Each structure stands twice: as structure tokens, then as C-alpha cells.
Amino acid sequence: MLVLFVCFANTCRSPMAEAVLNHLQSMKQLNWTVDSAGTSDMNAGRSPNPHTLAVLREHGLGSSHVSRQVRVEDFSNFDYILAMDENNLSYLKRIAPEGCRAKVELLGEYRMDELDKIVVDPYGQGIEAYRRCYNQISLFCQNFIDQKVQKLSEEGDL
């Protein structure tokens, strides 16, 4: 399984989701490829936001990710491209080649109950906003991996 997370600048939400899903898939001994990108190139080549890295460290996770912009070939290289909010989803659907391999959707579609399906950008806010973002992303990623593992198991691909 190949999964790409996408937010605006690829320095807060999507690298956080990448680190979380990488951790979850390694705990389940899966061999998934997980990456992240931004719809903007404004931070290309930069490390994740310091608050993102701090919150990941609080949970024993790290990130060596370098920000990049989403590319057209990502739509043929990944099985899932998961956007953090409606603006990013709209952009992705606009640039997606017709008949692309990737399923493009909101990460928040993997929520439980009536949680808000939008992962709000914590940029410019204090560390508590990043902690809330982490908690939301963690729940969505856990639900995503549980659903995909169950489906792969039912199909005999696991």
C-alpha cells in the first residue's frame, strides 16, 4: 500500500500524519510506503514546523521529512492520496489526471462518530493546537489502517 498525505505547505499536518502512519504500519509489520506533500511549493526543501517536531517527540516519534509539492506523477504512484481539508482536496481533484490510480479523499473520512472530518491547520498557533491536530490525525490514521488491513485480509492480500 502506498499512501500520500497532503496539506497546504507540507510542514505541519501532512508530515505529522506521515510519521503517525509510518509508526502504526511498522507496529503491524506492514510494508507500506508513506509520504507527504503540499499543494504549495512555498516551503519546498524545508523541515517540518518546530511545533510539529516537538509534538511528534512527545509521542516518541520523529521526522526527517523534507517538504515538497505534490506532483502529477503522485497520482499514478500512490494508492491513496489523503487531504487534510476541503481546499487541499479540491486542488488535488483539479490536477488529478483522468483515470488516475490513486483514490483521492479526505483523511477525515476515516473518522469515527461525528468527529469533524477537517484537520484544521495549526500553523501560527501555539503548541496546544498542534497537540489537538496530532490527536485527530492519530485517530484518523488508526481507523484508516484498521479498515485497510481488514479489507486486505478479507481479500487475501495480507
CA-CA distance, 107 to 141, in Å (whole number)?
A: 8
Active-site hit among 7, 100, 133, 141:
7
Distance, CA of 47 to CA of 49 (rounded, Å) = 7
Active site residue 79: no
- CA 29, 31, 33: angle at the middle one, nearest 5? 135
Q: Is 7 among the residues known to form the active site?
A: yes
CA–CA distance, 73 with 12 (Å, rounded to integer): 23
**Options 12, 13, 100, 133, the catalytic residue:** 13
Catalytic residue, candidates 74, 121, 133, 141: 121
Which of 139, 123, 140, 135 lies closest to 11 in space, CA to CA? 123
Cite the active site residues: 7, 13, 121
